[in-house]
Homo-oligomer: A and B are copies of this chain.
Amino acid sequence: MTDVKAEFLFDFASPNAYFAHCVVPGIAARTGVAIDYVPVLLGGIFKATNNQAPMVAFANVKGKLDYQMLEITRFQKRHAITKFRFNPHFPVNSLAMMRGAVAARASGVLAPYVDAMMRAMWEDGKKMDDPALIREVLAGAGLDADALMQAAQSPEIKKALADNTDAAVARGVFGIPTFFVNNEMWFGKDTLRDVEEAIVAAKG
C-alpha cells in the first residue's frame, strides 16, 4: 500500500462545491484516505483562465441550464442530500470566507469551519460576504471567531489564498469543484465516482 495524496479544491461560492462536500467525507471514510480540502478563489480562477460560471456561459443556450438543474436534482437524490437551498443572494463574494478557511486550515479547524460555512451558504441561504455574519456563524459552531477572522486579515493568509489559487491554475484547474488524486485531475461533482475509483487504484 502506497501513500495517496487526494485533494478537493473548493470555494464556498460554488453550489457544486457544497454538493461535493456532501459526498467527499464518505469517500475518505470508505477508502481510508484523507482528502485534503484546499481553499482557492473561484473568481481568481475564472479571471486567470478566462472561464465563467455555467449559469453565465450557458444563459442563452436553450435547454442547457434546465439540464444542469436536472443533474443537480439527480445528484441530490443519488446521495440523499435533503437540505440544499439555492442561496437567494447568489452570487455571494466569498473572499472573506475563503481567507477564513486558510486561517482555519492553519489552525487545524478546517473541517468544522467548512461545515459551518457550507451550511450557512447552501442550507440556510445567508449572505456570507459580511464579516459580522461570518463571525456569528463561527461562534454558533463553537469556533473562535475572533481569532480566525483576525488571522484571516494577515498578509500571510491573504498571500496563501492567492498562492493556492495561482498554483491551481498552473496545474490546469479552470473551475470548482476540482479533485486531484496524486497528480491526476478531475473536474465536476459528477466525477466523484471516478475519483473514488482512482483513490482505490492508487492505494494499490
Cα distance, A7 to B149, chains bound together (Å): 54
- Chain A interface: which size bin? 20 to 34
Specify the chain B residue showing the minimal Cβ separation from A66. Answer: B172
What mask results when residues 52 to 96 of chain A are scored 1 for a CB within 8 Å of chain B, else 0?
A: 000001001111101100100010000000000000000000000
A169 and B50: CB pair below 8 A? Answer: no
A174 and B62: CB pair below 8 A? Answer: yes
Specify the chain B residue showing the minimal Cβ separation from A49. Answer: B62
Specify the chain B residue showing the minimal Cβ separation from A171. Answer: B63
Cα distance, A49 to B193, chains bound together (Å): 30
Write the nearest CB–CB distance from A194 to chain B, whole angstroms. Answer: 8
B49 and A174: CB pair below 8 A? Answer: no
Provide a sorted-by-A list of 17 A–B residue pairs whose CB atoms are within 8 angstroms. Answer: A49-B61, A49-B63, A49-B64, A50-B60, A50-B62, A51-B61, A51-B64, A57-B57, A62-B174, A63-B169, A63-B173, A63-B174, A64-B174, A67-B172, A67-B187, A190-B190, A190-B191
